[in-house]
Amino acid sequence: MSNKTATLKAGDVEVEFPILEGTEGHPVIDVRALGAHGYFTFDPGFMATGSCESAITFIDGAKGILLHRGFSIEDLARDASFLEVCHMLLHDKAPNSEEYNEFKETITRHTMVHEQVNMFFHGFRNDAHPMAMLCGTVGALSSFYHSDLDVADPDQRSRSAHRLIAKMPTLVAMCYKYNIGQPFVYPRNDLSYAANFLNMMFSVPAEEYVISPAVERAMDRIFILHADHEQNASTSTVRLAGSSGANPYACIAAGVASLWGPAHGGANEACLKMLEEIGTVDRIPEFIARAKDKSDPFRLMGFGHRVYKNHDPRATVMRESCHEVLQELNVENPLLDVAMELERIALSDPYFAEKKLFPNVDFYSGIVLSAIGIPTNMFTCIFALARTVGWISHWHEMMSQPGQKIGRPRQLYTGHSKREYTPIKK
């Protein structure tokens, strides 16, 4: 709390508001008392509104900085495992060996889902979108854990967090298997978090599935790089749902639903669709020219970022994994050739540097997921899998804060004033 204040003059009323300062980022004006004077702020999209106080993630888009609990995303993606990052997001500290092993054991022991969950899937059409199935089955988990739904109990919140982190890979893999008509694969406790997910996705009873170390590491990095991203649409949705006291499974299902929107979780899927539209390397100059033409609606997906005005710090690390995976798998796919040529142009053409249209994390993660063999309709499910730990960390943080109130945004009403109603019989 600083001693600075901001003064607002509205008509004959002059109101003084405190200015609050966090450890990083912009100061905020505390306008909570404004309603008592007959006014509310108007901020569609909440672009200039701080909705909460949080100690989990900090982003400075102008400088290309992303910190989780104070640790840079570059350091975490290169030197930590996803489960280490999960522990850190939940507990505000990097775990020591004993803490990490205990946490890893807890997550590993909770990866199986109740056998009746299998029956839920058979209620969906086999061509249902994976996100539709994921949204439904995540919410349905609350029907199995009646004894752990007291959101005021820290221990119950912790157990729910562990279950969600552990079971999300199993549910996502089940969505994929159901789509393609293959049997569900049970989790294996002898595999890492990422390897277990890959095994549940791609192994079949008829033959052994060999997991490439490069692919396993790339998958783990994708999880790390998508684990949390501050107060975005889906995280804010989870917080708003949780502010009513809703159970954690319902809140995470709400986050899944929000993430499903193409403006949020569908970015890497949109990138692959763009590559499919371009088709071949020889057509790239045509599309580059269209991208530079302001009158043409075509836009290069996966380049630039609405938050990061310089560079996406996640992209640098993901680029390493992308090239490592492509070299390891030696995949023959014309779309990957298109992607690599687009990357070369974007990193060498002065136009892209001037406009700061550098490849972002969605560009590289989309290429990696495609190279691994994951279809585009599963991309957002994998995003949800990774983001679950961020959602549940924010939910847990919010429920731990004293004085938490139910969310109740205001509006600028533009409808009719009061008017008389004529009964239909007249």
- Active site (catalytic) residues: 305, 362
Is 28:55 a contact under the CB 8 Å cutoff?
A: no
Q: How far is CA 119 from the centre of its chain?
A: 28
| Dihedral sign of CA atoms 162, 368, 234, 185 in order | negative
Instruction: Read off the tokens for 215.
Output: 């692919």
- Pairing status of strand 13-20 against strand 57-60: unpaired
* Order of strands, sheet of 71-72, starting from the edge strand that comes earlier in the sequence: 57-60, 65-68, 71-72
Tell me the C-alpha distance between 393 and 191, whole Å.
25
Tell me the C-alpha distance between 198 and 330, whole Å.
18
The CA-atom distances, in angstroms, between 341 and each of 74, 282, 348, 420 are 25, 10, 11, 66
Tell me the C-alpha distance between 17 and 85, whole Å.
37
Q: How far apart are the first and last CA of the chain?
A: 62
